[in-house]
Amino acid sequence: MKRDLPTLASEEQILLAALAELSRRLPPGWSAEPQLERAAGRLRADAAVRIESPEGQRTTMYAEARRTLVTRDLRTLVDQLESVIDAARAVEPDESLAPLVVARYLAEPVRAWLAERDVSYVDATGNMRILLTTPSLFVRDVGEQKDPWRGPGRPKGNLKGESAARVVRALVDFRPPYSVPGLMKRAGTPSGNTYRVVDFLQEQGLLTRDDTGTITDVQWRALVERWSKDYDFTALAGATGYLAPRGLPELVKRVSELPEDSPIGGYAITGSIAAATWEAYAPTRLAMIYAENPDQFALYADLRRVDAGTNVIIAPTTQTAALERTQRLDGAVIVSPSQAAVDLLRSPGRGPEEGRALLEWMEKYESAWRQ
């Protein structure tokens, strides 16, 4: 049953509501007492929360509260809390101190980032993970999994379909800032579909918009990984397995000799062959290809349809986003890095490992592929 939640417009209201959720989940005899606007020298936190056990052991948690938080903000916020703690420790070296991140609602990617670094957090819906050593305490609970303050008309919880593919590709391939109408032009998608995807991604903490609605930041790697949960090249309608009897290098050579006005239409190679352009991982054993006319493409490339022993998969380009921003590899058309990465993350064999290696290359050389 859905709860009626207060507005929680101010950081103080958020802090008190979140700490009330924490207090309800502490073991019997434990307490959490906040002192608002706690200073440590010239540095200041939103609050200092004293967690005390029944035996009198205690830790002071310096807390920062935010109305909204995305992963882009976390490194700076945690560093700020660590600076406050360092200043407080210089005055009271024997006191047990720890950081605490507080928000009205923390999306799953934000919670995962904090948990990986053992930074305690709590939100006003009951999502929390508190880890202390003195006194020894571990509290974890799950609250709302969607932001309950988003209001009516929340987006569907997936990234399926051609419009979603186009929007995701544009968000990954183009650096913000840009407006949602600007994103629509880049993606070539209708207004309603674009806003649905943007709202969903904002709710998931994968992009940030300012007060004017402008998209100011995109967590592009996490976005590709999230997209891969709903997008699978090998499961696309019409995807068919073939055998290239002369091997994959000969296939690429043959395709590279296609004239630009070839009657087979548009195509693009994805997966391992494309990824090797940027980050070679291992010898390629499976070719993955998008084609407007799969049968004609297979005929030209001398491919044989087989039920076993497949080393080529061709998918019809119903997902036309795959043919956006393609490149050339020795004359053959290949997909962009963002498309190759998502296709590898759900491909068979070592494909997911290749996908992660490609994402690492993309992080290291972002200026080489992102516009």
Model pLDDT for residues 102-124, shown as the tens digit of each residue: 999 998 888 999 999 999 999 99
Domains of the chain: 11-141 (3.40.1350), 162-227 (1.10.10.10), 233-369 (3.30.460)
Return the pLDDT at 111.
92
Model pLDDT for residues 183-198, shown as the tens digit of each residue: 999 999 999 899 999 9
Return the pLDDT at 37.
66
3-state SS, the chain, equals CCCCCCCCCCHHHHHHHHHHHHHHHCCCCCEEEEEEEEEECCEEEEEEEEEECCCCCEEEEEEEEECCCCHHHHHHHHHHHHHHHHHHHHHCCCCCEEEEEEECCCCHHHHHHHHHCCCEEEECCCCEEEEECCCCEEEEECCCCCCCCCCCCCCCCCCCCHHHHHHHHHHHHCCCCECHHHHHHHHCCCHHHHHHHHHHHHHCCCEEECCCCCEEEECHHHHHHHHCCCCCHHHCCCCEEEECCCCHHHHHHHHHCCCCCCCCCCEEEEHHHHHCCCCCCCCCCCEEEEECCHHHHHHHCCCEECCCCCCEEEEECCCHHHHCCCEEECCEEECCHHHHHHHHHCCCCCHHHHHHHHHHHHHHCHHHHCC
> For the chain (length 371 residues), average pLDDT per consecutive 10?
65 91 94 77 80 94 88 86 90 90 91 93 96 94 86 66 95 97 95 91 87 92 94 91 94 86 86 91 89 92 90 86 92 95 93 94 96 94
Return the pLDDT at 129.
97
Return the pLDDT at 39.
54
